[in-house]
Amino acid sequence: MKIVYLWFIFMISVYAQSILVLNSNSEIDRYKSMEQAFSKSIDKPFKTINIANMSPKAIQEYLYDEYPDMIYTIGTKAYQYAKKYVPEKKIFFSSIVNYKRFKMGKKSFGVSNELHPGMKLTLIKSLLPHTTSLSMLYSRYTENIYKSFKEEAKHVGIEVRGIKIKEGDSFNVDVLQKADAFVMIADPIVLKEEAKIKNLYKTITAKNKPIVAYHKLYLKYGAMLIVAVDIPTIGRQVASMMKQEMQGSAFTHIQLPAGSQVIFDKGLAQSMGISCDRSALGIVNKVIK
């Protein structure tokens, strides 16, 4: 009888947990895509809310009223509010720039916003074998990412030269274009002024230097290589982590993105007179000719 009772309690704990998806802004395509992929991969009922136009007070009241057992936060804003108002709950996250800048407790789980730097560096070295130096822009938000990139680069014979910026700083293009290639990371300060980014890309490509970016939208500015996270995979990955948590199964609490998309503009490389390793094109998802 005791065994039956314990099993009943276990089943209640697995199936009765309430789930909330807290989206920082569901109008942003990548956030919407993550939410949709998650919803198709989770087989438990859940609620969703877009907090883009909600006041902090309204968000607080909503979280207190719902008081879910598990929350999937999409974007930094959603994570910060969940952590502030219901820190005792299990909080899953995605799309946080450099999650290491936040204090992650035992009840925080999620998927990193960035692919492993070693993967990016391996792709760069494979496709552009003559690359021996890279330049990067970073801020206090992404300093850990830069340091990790710099350390990993030593293993593939590449020197990384970084410039730390603050809000309002101009980009030191003269220094950046002296490296063999420029790598752009998703830094909120770098991304704040589109005009500066366009000018940076224009100046670097004019010197026939390749640019490696993290999203395909930068192809139109002149990026040669895109190494991007596969967005829907992240939503499915979080759903899988949540299922494992509900089942009491062991899993890695903070994971790297499981999927990626690699795009290489071969035509741009040829027009710049940059030689690429054709044998390495097999690792590319899409080649632009």
Tens digits of residue pLDDT in 219-265: 999 999 999 999 999 999 999 999 999 999 999 999 999 999 999 99
CATH of residue 68's domain is 3.40.50.2300
Give pLDDT tens digits for 88-140. Answer: 999 999 999 889 888 888 999 999 999 999 999 999 999 999 999 999 999 99
Give the Cα separation of 48 and 72 in Å (integer): 9
Q: How far is CA 240 from the centre of its chain?
A: 18
pLDDT (0 to 100) of residue 284: 94
Mean pLDDT of the chain: 92
**Cα atoms in the Cβ-side hemisphere of radius 13 Å centred on 227:** 21
Number of domains observed in the structure of the chain: 2
pLDDT (0 to 100) of residue 3: 57
Q: Are residues 147 and 265 in the same domain?
A: yes
Domain that holds residue 69: 2-96
Q: Global pTM?
A: 0.86
| Bridge partner residues of 108 (DSSP) | 91
Q: Are residues 174 and 281 in the same domain?
A: yes
Give the Cα separation of 19 and 150 in Å (integer): 39
183 part of a folded domain: yes
Q: Are residues 91 and 121 in the same domain?
A: no
What b/e string do you get for 52-80 counting C-beta neighbours within 10 Å, with b at 16 or more? eeeeeeebeebbeeeebebbbbbbbbbbe
